């Protein structure tokens, strides 16, 4: 079973889209394993986005992610990393497929609502950056067989 980090970024929180984003992930069949609203520190922002340091949009990205609260979550399920990224759509909302969150709710790459881990390695390091082990809940989804049962 895979776990992945999902952030509803400040634009998603301010625009009242936390519920819509959670609903889409729940309805897809993914399981919420951890969640908290955080005012992101400059240190956490720079650690999380270290890979983008030096890019033209980096300082703006740090300003944006620390500008207002972020809803940080851990989602779990079979192939959760690729499933969540598929539900989010392309990083640039103008290139995201219809029906994805970024297509349906956004228009700008600088205000693209969400972040989702892009690989098992990054998911593991991002989850440990944002959550302590005690903040992640191990529970059974009672609909599991209805979602993933094999014939």
Total residues interacting with ligand CMP, rule: CB under 6 A: 8
Residue 115 a catalytic site member: yes
Q: Please identify, using beta-carbon distances, which residue of 39 and 143 lies nearer to ligand CMP.
A: 39
Of the candidate residues 105, 115, 126, 127, the single one contacting ligand CMP (CB under 6 A): 115
Query: Which string of DSSP letters, residue by residue, matches 56-112?
Result: TTHHHHHHHHTSS-EEEEEEEETTHHHHHHHHH--SSGGGSPTTSHHHHH--BTTB-
* Token reading at 12: 């998603």
Please name which of 73, 74, 72, 79 lies closest in space to residue 147, comparing C-alpha atoms.
79
* The only residue of 68, 86, 90, 91 in contact with ligand CMP, by rule CB under 6 A: 91
Binding residue for ligand CMP, selected from 21, 61, 81, 84, defined by CB under 6 A:
61
Interface residues with ligand CMP (CB under 6 A) are 52, 57, 61, 91, 109-110, 112, 115
Residues with a catalytic annotation lie at 115
């Amino acid at each position: 079973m895979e776990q992945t980090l999902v952030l509803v970024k400040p634009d998603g929180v301010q625009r009242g889209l936390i519920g819509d984003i959670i609903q889409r992930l729940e309805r897809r069949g993914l399981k919420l394993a951890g969640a908290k609203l955080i005012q992101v520190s400059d240190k956490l922002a720079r650690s999380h986005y270290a890979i983008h340091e030096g890019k033209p949009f980096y300082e703006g990205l740090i300003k944006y992610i620390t500008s207002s609260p972020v809803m940080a979550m851990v989602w779990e399920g079979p192939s959760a990393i690729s499933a969540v990224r598929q539900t989010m759509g392309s990083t640039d909302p103008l290139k995201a497929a219809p029906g994805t969150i970024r297509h349906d709710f956004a228009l700008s790459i600088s205000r693209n609502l969400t972040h989702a881990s892009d690989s098992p390695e990054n998911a593991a390091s991002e989850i440990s950056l944002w959550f302590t082990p005690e903040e992640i809940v191990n529970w059974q989804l009672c609909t599991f067989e209805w979602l993933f049962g094999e014939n």
